[in-house]
A and B are shown apart, each in its own frame.
Chain A
Amino acid sequence: MRNTMIDLNRIAVLGALLFTAACANISLVPADRPAAVGNGITVAPQRQWNQIKDDQIVWTTEGSNVDKLIFLTGIKPGQPLLEVPGIKDERIGVFDSKMLPNDIQDLVVGTLTKTGYKTVQPGNLTPCSFGSGRGFCFDLDFSTRDGLQMKGLTMARKQGDTLDVFLFEAPSEYYFGALSPTVSKVFASVQTK
């Protein structure tokens, strides 16, 4: 009924992801060694992961179309959490150093929607430890365009003018339940400089 540019954007995103996947640097993250995930942060992986390193570090066990733990670190004011091909940064939503955790939760929700997820609902926003400092955590419920139900765990911290966000997502059927205890341990293992 209504003609929009959204579908074209999605095609552009898909094309860019395929292109990225073809060029991305994929390596194995061993379980027993601390891993640097950006902005001076290290975590204990707890298990083996496949790492896809491009603009940001992504870990996955079953492939990034199934589960992924994304480390978005060192985000500066005026920057989006993620680049979405075909959409200008200000249209995705950008970080502002005055943002409170509620605002950053809204930014994560809006960004996920821009990448194509549907009905993204946050919950349980709560303060939590981020290494030796203070951060905040929240849960996510959403679905893919095809209707697959997904769940997410997010941990973030704002330090000065910089934002770090760890985002885990997996299908709510089996994968989230199987992997989220490990991801929670990864979150709890954060060491910061």
Chain B
Amino acid sequence: MIARPLLALSCAVWLLAASAARAAEHNVLPPGYSPDMSSDEAGLWMLMDKEEAQTKTSPNVVKDEKLNAYVSGVICKLAGEYCPSIRVYIIDTPDWNASAAPNGMVLVHTGLLLQVNNEAQLAFVLGHEITHYVHRHSVEKMRKTVNTAGFMKVFDLAMAGVGAGVGADPRGAMSLGNMIGIYSITAFSRDEERDADDGGFKRATALGYSPNEASAIWETMVAENKADPGFSRSAFFSSHPGEEERAATNAKLAAEIAPTRADWITNEDAFHAATAPFIRRWIDEELASGQPDRSITIFRRLAANMPSQGIYQYGLGEAYRKRNKANDAAAAENAYRGALACPDAPPEAWRGLGLLAMKADRSAEAKEAFTQYRAKLPDATDKAMIDFYLTEL
């Protein structure tokens, strides 16, 4: 009775191993390719075309021509001969993310543009997405899922048939089949992510982007996840490899390639010139995400990287004020004062100081801060409220 379940499990392990091996082989997309209309791939493309038609008209798409030209330019350099087949949409959302659809639609979130330090980091992320597209990962995953669903059914039947040994209760055997199936799909997905990391690294470094920036992205992510009490990940069922693994892999690759040339680039100035007009809006959107722990970590890093830019100190102050935990008021005040010491200090830093002082019953200080705010931003949308506070102080 034990031998048959073991045989079934051996089959499962063999199937998983075989599928993992298949994940390493990629059916690379020929440039200018479009799928045969009778294929499953064409069905997937049609779905994505519908999605893209909706995306095009979404108000969440950033329409600014200069920013679009900049991001598309970076992608085009990375994509090379695939450039004409790729369309980029910048999505106004604070989440750190980008994605590539099998039909060549690439979505870049503004949260990514806010949080990366330079063009090189952006290039490694975009190179990763281009690799997903070129290596047809979505199609592979769709086929894998369909095949695995079939395997799960056969496996469940086999387990139900053998009965005792693995589980006399057929529901137990069913959940084992499901678990193996889900693990199989997520393991496959993790392999594709590793492949996309590798492809992105090669594309970006071929253009001279500093290889150390690849691991820097993931080291930042590791630190930010540790600082976020709400972050959780299941190593077993996660669709992506852990950030620690990605940081280590990229650091190893960087160590190998870094000595090969001395003129690696980050294009920090070009990146900041392109994104500067939008930073304030993206900061406000990050603050509105209602995730102050995450915001504090992000703005602390950005403020440390660019201490001359008060805008990030302001964001840090706002994040502390909104989190409102013990000692956050002092940290917020410190950040607002840091912002006000910079030439680009947003007037709202005065408002933040005023709110903190008012809550701490420091009336004179609050009055002074609110007066400064009203003088520096006469058309503030909350001017009536601030004027009311001033009458109360």
Chain A binding site: helix, strand, loop or mixed by DSSP?
Answer: mixed
B324 neighbours in A (Cβ, 8 Å): 96, 99, 103
With a cutoff of 8 Å between Cβ atoms, the chain B residues found around residue A114 in the complex are: 290
**Cα distance A120–B385 when bound, in Å?**
20
**Number of residues from A at the complex interface, CB < 8 A:** 40
Selected from B128, B221, B385, the residue in CB contact (under 8 A) with A136 is B385
CB neighbours (8 Å) of B232 from chain A are 5
**Residue B117 is within 8 A (CB to CB) of chain A in the complex:** no
- Docked-complex contact A121 and B238, CB < 8 angstroms: no
Residues of B within 8 A of A96 (CB): 324
Give complex CA distance A91, B359 in Å.
23
Binds B, one of A10-18, A32-40, A46-54, A105-113: A105-113
Contacting residues, chain B, for A105 (C-beta < 8 A): 382
A44 to B125, CA, bound (A): 55
Nearest opposing residue in chain B for A126, CB measure:
B384
Nearest-Cβ distance from residue B240 to partner chain A, whole angstroms: 4
A79 interface hit (Cβ, 8 Å): no
A125 touches B128 (CB 8 A): no
Residues of B within 8 A of A88 (CB): 230
- Those of A121-160 within 8 Å (CB) of chain B: 121-127, 136, 138, 143, 146-147, 149
Q: A106 with B322: in contact, given A1-B129, A2-B97 (CB under 8 Å)?
A: yes
Whether B385 and A119, one on each chain, are in contact in the complex, defined by CB atoms closer than 8 angstroms, is no
Contact across chains for A147 and B358 when beta carbons are under 8 A apart: no
One of B34-42, B77-85, B88-96, B271-279 contacting the partner: B88-96
Query: Could you give, for residues 62-98 of chain A, a 1 whenever the CB lies within 8 Å of some chain B CB and a 0 otherwise?
Result: 0000000000000000000000000010011100101
Cβ contacts A to B, 11 pairs, < 8 Å:
A88-B230, A92-B290, A100-B355, A118-B92, A119-B92, A120-B288, A123-B381, A127-B388, A136-B385, A143-B60, A147-B60
Q: What residues of chain B have their CB less than 8 Å away from a CB belonging to chain A?
A: 54, 57-60, 92-93, 95-99, 112, 125, 128-129, 221, 230-233, 238-240, 284-285, 287-291, 321-322, 324, 351, 355, 358-359, 381-382, 384-385, 388-389
Given contacts A110-B289, A147-B57, 19 further A-B contacts (CB under 8 A): A1-B96, A1-B98, A2-B97, A5-B231, A91-B230, A91-B291, A102-B382, A102-B385, A103-B321, A103-B355, A105-B382, A113-B288, A114-B290, A118-B60, A118-B92, A119-B285, A121-B288, A127-B385, A127-B388
